Structure formats: structure tokens, C-alpha cells
Amino acid sequence: MATLIDGKALAAKIKAQLIEEAKTLPRRPGLAVILVGKDPASRIYVTNKEKDCEQCGFLSYEYKLPEETSEDEILDMIGYLNNNAKVDGILVQMPVPAQLDEEKIIFAISPDKDVDAFHPVNVGRMVIGDPVFLPCTPAGIMEMFKEYNIQIAGKRCVVLGRSNIVGKPMATLLMQNDGTVTTCHTKTENLAKYTREADILVSAAGHRNLVTADMVKDGVVVIDVAMNRNEEGKFCGDVDFAEVSKKASYITPVPGGVGPMTRAILLKNILTASKRHQGIQ
Ligand code: GUN
């Protein structure tokens, strides 16, 4: 039976460290959050991020913009926040309404305040191995491996999903830590052929029951990034947890696995940004 990787507990431990470190700073770290429209899931995510900031003694500034916000309006707001000395991090909650171009928004945020690490400067820095900020979800997963002494060097790592937010940076970080990495996606033929080879399997596909017990080998480490809903409306991941956990050596639950770690790393990035802005390294 697999050991459960407790993301909630590890996130609490990281937060406790951040709280102590934040107390030593001359000025409180500040996060600006921009939320465009009324998407209920985004609303919950933003509220959680603001609560996290409060718990850590960080300030958060919320900018709720109407659904019909124009590109000029949001770019002006980002420009204002880029130049606001109280703001260390800027986060535009994605997705944004269709009239807004996500790429233009990401490019407009100053790389120094890009606590999501979505800006090409931060993506590039990560790829060359000289990061300032790492993307929250993949960096949170790397912290889980460290905490549970899970070795990556020489292991076969399989990542399901190739998004800019999770799949691509996850594959990059695993490779940089000497894993042998395969990225699978919607066009991959015979997915099980790859997943059965995996020593470490990270699933960020967003399809319930995508990974079943017959698709993994004994002793696999399973990280389930997805947040799907089952027929009862409860959160579940991509992995058939009940069956796969009988074969795995380690597995993350959904919820309570990767999600809390993503939030913890965002806080870490805000603190990093603030220290840099305050001239403290
Ligand atoms: N929407 C879903 N995940 C994220 C995230 O990590 N950052 C932002 N800004 N938007 C998101």
C-alpha cells in the first residue's frame, strides 16, 4: 500500500517558515490580484490566495474588473501595478474573458513581479537553470519529492499534459534533476506503454480515471495534479486512486495533495520578490 504524500502538511510547514521570514523584513510583502469577470472557480482561487497572504502577514490588493474589461484597461492596470512600490507580485487569475489576450497580459507583467513565473523571461531563466521564480505547481511537486526523499536521478519520469503552467515546466524540472523524461499528451498513441515504464508519473491531463491500475508498475510514485469532479460533484484527480494506490509506493491525494503546495510556492515567490525589491537576498 502506498505512502500518502501529504501536501497539506508540507504546505503548512513551508508557510510557517515564510511567516517567520516575513517578520524580519522592513516592509510587508504585497500581492496584487486581478480578477476579470465572475467565474465562480476563479473567485474561489483568488479568495484562497488572499487568505494565504493574510495568514503569512503579507498584504493583498484585489482588483475586480468587469467581464467586458478591454485590453487597454487591463494593460494600463498592470502598468500601474508594475510601478507601484507596495506591490511585489502581480497575479492575473486565468482564464480571462475571450476579448483579452492571455499572452499580452503575461508579457506586460514585469518579470520582477511575475510570481506565477509565466513571463518568458522567467520561463527562459528556468530552462537555463538560473531561475528567480519557479512556476508554482511544478516547484511544489519538486518540494514533495525532496520532503519524501524520492530520488529523481536516473528514474524514468512520465508527465501527462504539456501545458505552459504544469506539463512543460514539470518536464523541464525533472530533466534538470537528472530524470529521464517523457511527456505524453492528447496525441500520444498507446499511452499505457509509456505510463507502465514510469518510476515517477505526474498526471496533469484533467481527465477523470485516465490512469488505471493496469497502466502503472509496482512501486511507481504517482503525483496527481488534476482537479476534476466526479458524478457526485466531489473533487477527484486523473488517477483511479483506490486501485492505483495498491500498487504505488507513494501517491498524492486529491484534494490535499498538489493544490496546497501550489499555493505555498506562490507565497514563497511573493516573499522572494519582496526581498529582492527590499534589497535583501
Ligand atoms: N488559473 C489556474 N491556475 C492558475 C495559476 O496558477 N495562476 C494564475 N494566474 N491563474 C491560474
Which residue minimizes the CA distance to atom 2 of ligand 1? 94
Is 120 a domain residue?
Answer: no
Residue 281: per-residue pLDDT = 78
Mean of the per-residue pLDDT values of the chain: 98
Is 118 a domain residue?
Answer: no
pTM for the whole thing?
A: 0.98
- Distance from Cα 89 to the centre of ligand 1, integer Å: 14
Residue 73: which domain range?
A: 27-111
Based on the structure, what is the number of domains in the chain?
A: 2
| Among candidate residues 111, 145, 169, the one where a domain is terminated | 111
- Distance from Cα 94 to the centre of ligand 1, integer Å: 5
Percent of the chain's residues with pLDDT above 70: 100
Is 14 a domain residue?
Answer: no
CATH classification at residue 49:
3.40.50.10860
Distance CA 268, CA 10 (A): 13
144 shares its domain with 231: yes
67 shares its domain with 172: no
Ligand 1 nearest atom to the CA of residue 262, by list position: 6
106 shares its domain with 173: no
Specify the amino acid at residue 257.
G
Q: What is the pLDDT of residues 73-104, one digit of tens each?
A: 999 999 999 999 999 999 999 999 999 999 99
- The single residue listed with the C-alpha cell 534589497 is 279
Q: Which residues are bridge partners to 159 per DSSP?
A: 183, 202
Is 167 a domain residue?
Answer: yes
pLDDT average, residue stretch 19-36: 98
Q: Which of 52, 93, 123, 227 to mutate to test the pocket of ligand 1 (most atoms within 8 A of CB)?
A: 93
Is 124 a domain residue?
Answer: no
Is 151 a domain residue?
Answer: yes
Is 3 a domain residue?
Answer: no
| Other CB atoms within 10 Å distance of the CB of residue 191 | 17
CATH classification at residue 233:
3.40.50.720
Is 237 a domain residue?
Answer: yes
Q: CA dist 234 to 4, 101, 224, 231, 242, Å? A: 19, 32, 15, 7, 15
Which residue minimizes the CA distance to atom 8 of ligand 1? 93
97 shares its domain with 41: yes
